[in-house]
Amino acid sequence: MKMLIKLKGILDFDIEDITQKHKKQSSWKRVAMIKTNCEMDRYYAWFLNKRFNLELNKNIRGSHITIISDKLDKNVFENAKQIFNGKEIEFYLDLEPRANTNGHWWLRAYSPTAESIREAMGLTREPYFAFHMTIGLANSKNIDHSNYILRQCQRFELITNEKRSKLDEQEIIEFNT
C-alpha cells in the first residue's frame, strides 16, 4: 500500500499569463490551480540535488497543482470562478517522485474535490495530464544526467512504473501546514 500525505491549498482562477505559451493560448485556454504554501516541490528538488547532484529549474508559479488547463467556454469558467476562487481545498500527494525522459520531475496528486469541480464544468474528472505537483525540469545542460538518474532509480526500484492507484487504496497521513 502506498502512502499519501493530505494537504490543503487555495483555489486560484486568476492565473497571470507569465509565459509566451500562456499568452498565446489565453484567448481559448482556461487555467485554474491549487496554490500551496508547503514548498514540497522545493524539498524534493533539494533532495534530488543533494542525493543525485541533479539540479532542476524552479517552478515559475511556485508550488501548485493545476486542476484546469483546458479549452473551455469563458462563461462556464467565469461562473466557476465566482463560486470556487479563493476557497480552501484538500489534496493528497504521493511521496514517490516520478520523472520522464523529457526531464520533468513530479509528485502524483489526488483531489476528489477538484475532480468534482472539473466535472461540474463539463470536463472529465481527470485531466489529460493527471493531477501532479511539478518538482522541476532538467534543462538542456543536465537532461542526460536526469535520464541517467531516472534509469538508475527505476533499476533499483526507487521509482516504479506502477499505474496510478485509486485514492481509497492508499494509506493517508495528515500533514498540517
Quick check: 58 pLDDT over 80? Answer: yes
Check pLDDT > 80 for residue 19.
no
Residue 34 confidence (pLDDT): 98
User: If pLDDT is split at 50, 70 and 90, which confidence band does 25 have?
Assistant: confident
Distance between CA atoms of residues 112 and 134, nearest Å = 19
Which of 47, 45, 21 shows the shortest CA–CA distance to 104? 45
The mean predicted confidence, pLDDT, of the chain is 92
Give yes or no for residue 23 having a pLDDT over 80.
Answer: no
Q: What is the predicted pLDDT for the residue at 169?
A: 87
Q: CA 167 to CA 110: how far, in whole Å?
A: 7
pLDDT of 1: 66
Q: What burial class does residue 81 get, using C-beta atoms within 10 Å of its C-beta: 0-12 exposed, 13-18 middle, 19+ buried?
A: middle
Query: Is 41 in contact with 134 (CB distance < 8 Å)?
Result: yes
* Radius of gyration of the chain from its Cα atoms, rounded to whole angstroms: 17
pLDDT tens-digit map of 67-117 = 999 999 999 999 999 999 999 999 999 999 999 999 999 999 999 999 999
- 138-167: average pLDDT: 91
Pairwise CA distance, residues 133 & 150, whole Å: 18
Diameter of the chain measured on Cα atoms: 49
Residue 173: pLDDT over 80: yes
List all residues 6 or more positions away from 111 whose beta carbon is below 8 Å from its beta carbon. Answer: 34, 65, 67, 89, 90, 91, 92, 131
Instruction: Determine the structural domain holding residue 58 and report its residue range.
Output: 3-174
Q: Count Cβ atoms within 10 A of the Cβ of residue 141 and give its class: 0-12 exposed, 13-18 middle, 19 or more buried.
A: exposed
Confidence of residue 175 (pLDDT cuts 50, 70, 90): low
Tell me the mean pLDDT in the region 5-29: 85
Banded model confidence at residue 24, pLDDT cuts 50, 70, 90: confident
Find out whether 112 and 118 touch, Cβ atoms under 8 Å.
no
Average pLDDT over residues 160-170: 85
